[in-house]
Chain A
Amino acid sequence: MKKKLLFADDEPNLRILYKTEFESDGYEVEMAVDAGEVLEKVEKNTYDLIVLDIMMPGMNGIEAMEKILSKDKKQLVILNTAYTVYKDNFMTWAADAYIIKSSDLTELKEKVKELLGGN
């Protein structure tokens, strides 16, 4: 069975990049444009891992993560952001990983693989 990933990012080009790259690595990939869509999807489906951007219009990724974890404390979550400042923020420490965004997806891919125990 393919592992199922959900990405949330308000940047359309990044959504395309994540979908293409992770699908070619053999994952099933879904996209959300903001935190609201993430929460809707999580209500209906289950995901092996959720990758959240922090700075999104409306609810940010940290708050979305808190809401997800309050429903399912075992849900794996990666915060994926261009900002380093949040790394020090206690509210982000519940994430399984904190990745600084880059067009080079090596680090993100390795972390996904590590958290899902290989794929």
Chain B
Amino acid sequence: MLPTLTIIMAGGRGERLYPLTRDRAKPAVRFGGIYRIIDFTLSNCLNSGIRQIYLLTQYNSVSLERHLKLGWNFFNRELGEFIESIPPQYRTEDRWYAGTADSIFQNINLLEQMRPKRVLILSGDHIYKMDYQDLIAFHIETKAQVTVGAAEVPRHQASQMGVMEVDAKYRVKHFLEKPSDPPPMPGNSKVSLVSMGVYIFETEKLVRELILDSKANSEHDFGKNILPDMIARKENVYAYPFKDKNRKKAKYWRDIGSLDSYWETNMDLVSVNPEFNLYDAEWPTHTYQGQYPPAKTVFANEKEGRVGQVLDSLISGGCVVSGGRLERSILAPRVRINSYARVQESILMEDVNVGRYAKIRRAVIDKGVIIPAGFEIGYDQEEDAKKFSITPGGITVVPSGILLEKPSK
């Protein structure tokens, strides 16, 4: 019997990251220049020795499928290992997934075929490092029906999340969705235990709960329906405060829930000592990278001020910073920054070309956008707002496919 089958839910619309999610699913959105958001969850699986994975896809899955095919096709079926993506099958229902629980319910036949002892359910759009074997060991030890991975979040922030109130043994007493006064965790009055969207279920219990939920008038959501219902029935539900493999002072777990948090989480990576460590050889993050030439800077003509400069930034393969200046920014592959251009605190996706004398500040620029010479982004919010979306935090987001013209002055 397969001890644990893993199902990653990667089918959400990702509306809050629009327009980055206009043409791609949220798990396929680039992060840190070379990665996709899904890489962090998949790397957790890989580093935890988890090799039986179904990935439930739905909206805009082309880019995600391509990434999986190019970057994650090394599991060996002959050894019983697999990562398989499953689009909605319309097996019995004539509709797409109604909620997280419904996405698993509609695929109960996969559970019947595999008959695993347990099912590990993960979200494909969070950034963290976790050894799922620790969670599984805790789950077995407590004889729980379901164990929920929990992040420790400052109480004032927790009021926007799913919070668990637990007893001394971490059995969950209440599951509260966005509580106004989040209860503290045992032994630390400053933080609350927040659901990470990581669940391990005994398979038979999971199937019974999904069927029960499918017949109820509910949103068919684990956090809103299944878990609160189980806890109300006094079922054995436990919270597992996750051990952070990131090994920094504060535990790191991020749900990239908005464009502002997307920008901030990326900007952390360019700081001198980032909260999220990409350099730990013991917990590598795997991805797909094309065969590009090394990143390059050219022109060192300091007399004329034509210097290719890269400061406090991450730059991917194939990039050329040609006489322009880059500060606190992240470049995906094959970006070009031309002479006298200046890019600050921005995230530029692959194939963006920044023309001479262009100035960009606090922006996210999606794939393939050509910034004309002398163009400015992030310096005049009123002007920017006529063409682009601007986040509440003041980040200008430039969608792919947009045609920009030189200012006529």
Give residues in A with beta carbon < 8 Å to B. Answer: 63, 66-67, 69-70, 73-74, 89-91, 93-94
Decide: B211 and A94 in contact? CB cutoff 8 A. Answer: yes
In the assembled complex, the CB of B108 is this many whole angstroms from the nearest CB of chain A, namely 5
What sequence of 0s and 1s flags, for each residue 198-223 of chain B, a beta carbon within 8 Å of any chain A beta carbon?
00000000011001001100000000
Query: Given the known A-B contacts A66-B92, A67-B92, A70-B92, are A94 and B112 also in contact in the complex, defined by CB atoms under 8 Å?
Result: no
Contact A91 B215 (CB under 8 A): no
Residue contact B94 to A70, C-beta cutoff 8 Å: yes
- Cβ A73 vs Cβ B208 within 8 A: no
Q: Could you say which residues of chain B place their CB within 8 Å of the CB of A69?
A: 92, 214-215
How many residues on B have C-beta within 8 angstroms of the other chain's C-beta atoms?
A: 13
A-B contact count (CB 8 A): 28
Cβ of A97 to closest chain B Cβ, rounded Å: 13
Whether B108 and A91, one on each chain, are in contact in the complex, defined by CB atoms closer than 8 angstroms, is yes
Q: Is the CB of B63 closer than 8 A to any CB of chain A? A: no
Residues from chain B with a CB closer than 8 A to the CB of A91 are: 108-109, 112
Give bound CA distance, A89 to B112, whole Å.
7
Chain A CB within 10 Å — which of B91, B109, B214, B215 has the most? B215
Q: Which 3 A-B pairs have the closest CB atoms?
A: A66-B92, A90-B112, A70-B92
If A91-B109, A91-B112 touch, whether A70 touches B93 (CB-CB below 8 Å) is: yes
| B230 in the interface (beta carbon within 8 A) | no
**C-alpha spacing A54/B94, complex, angstroms:** 23
Q: Is the CB of B214 within 8 A of A90?
A: no
Contact B92 A90 (CB under 8 A): no
CB-CB < 8 A to A66: which residues of B?
91-92
Q: How far is the CA of A58 from the CA of B207 in the complex (A)?
A: 26
A103 to B: closest C-beta gap in Å: 30
Cβ-defined contact, A90 with B215, below 8 A: no
Measured between alpha carbons, how far is A111 from B330 in the docked complex, in Å? 65
Q: Mind listing 8 A-B residue pairs with CB under 8 Å?
A: A63-B92, A66-B92, A67-B92, A69-B215, A73-B215, A74-B215, A91-B109, A94-B215
B111 close to A (CB within 8 Å) = yes
In Å, the complex CA distance between A89 and B244 comes to 38
Q: How far apart are the CA atoms of A83 and B211 in the complex, in Å? A: 22
Give the CA-CA distance A63 to B108 in the complex, in Å: 13
Residue of B nearest to A95 (CB): B211
Give Cα A91–Cα B94 distance, bound, in whole angstroms: 18
- The distance in angstroms between the C-alpha atoms of A73 and B111, with both chains bound, is 21
By a CB distance below 8 angstroms, the chain A residues around B111 are: 90
Give A74 to B216 CA distance when docked, in angstroms.
8
CA A66 – CA B93 in complex, angstroms? 9
Inter-subunit contact A94/B109 (CB<8 Å): no
Complex: how many Å from CA A58 to CA B109? 19
Q: A67-B92, A90-B108, A90-B111 are in contact. Are A73 and B214 (CB under 8 A)?
A: yes
Check B92 against A93 for contact (C-beta < 8 Å).
Answer: no
A93 to B93, CA, bound (A): 17
The residue from B91, B93, B94, B207 contacting A90, defined by CB atoms under 8 A apart = B207
Residue of A nearest to B93 (CB): A70
- Chain A residues, CB < 8 A from B109: 90-91
Residue of A nearest to B106 (CB): A70
Inside 8 A of B211's CB, which chain A residues have their CB?
A: 93-94
Nearest chain B CB to A73 CB, angstrom units: 5
Contacting residues, chain A, for B108 (C-beta < 8 A)? 90-91
Interchain CA distance A89-B204 in the complex, whole Å = 10
How many angstroms between the C-alpha atoms of A61 and B350 in the bound complex?
Answer: 52
Q: How far is the CA of A92 from the CA of B305 in the complex (A)?
A: 74
| Other 20 A-B pairs with CB < 8 A, given A90-B112, A93-B208 | A63-B92, A66-B91, A66-B92, A67-B92, A69-B92, A70-B92, A70-B93, A70-B94, A73-B215, A89-B112, A90-B108, A90-B109, A90-B111, A90-B207, A91-B108, A91-B112, A93-B207, A93-B211, A94-B211, A94-B215
Contacts of B83-119 to chain A: CB distance below 8 A: 91-94, 108-109, 111-112
Neighbouring B residues of A73 by C-beta, 8 Å = 214-215
Residue numbers in A under 8 Å from B92 (CB-CB)? 63, 66-67, 69-70
Q: Which residue of A lies closest to B108 (CB)?
A: A90
Report chain A residues within 8 Å CB of B93: 70
What's the Cα separation between A69 and B132 when bound, in Å? 35
For A63, give the chain B residue with the smallest CB separation: B92
